[in-house]
Amino acid sequence: METVLLIVCVMLIAIVLLQSGKASDASQIITGGNTELFQNQKERGSELLISRITLLLGLSFFVLSFLLYIIN
């Protein structure tokens, strides 16, 4: 069970790194230069798929961690 959790952790880290950032560089994050940050934009194509995979992996990480805590 620990190996499954380790695999999920590595996959979760990889998929989070694949996501596109909302701000293109660090100066825009600090100065607030990205005015489209909080606008309601629909994800399409690969962004939607990556978002759903991230959600699925995050939930599975939580469930596996909780189950390992209960078992031990």
pLDDT at position 2 over 80: yes
Q: Mean pLDDT, the chain, as a whole number?
A: 81
Mean pLDDT of 23-36: 58
pLDDT digits (tens, 9 = 90+) for 44-57: 788 888 989 999 99
Whether 61 and 9 have beta carbons less than 8 Å apart is answered as yes
pLDDT at position 34 over 80: no
Tokens of 1: 């069970």
* pTM of the predicted structure, to 2 decimals: 0.70
Mean pLDDT of 16-34: 65
N- to C-terminal Cα separation, the chain: 11
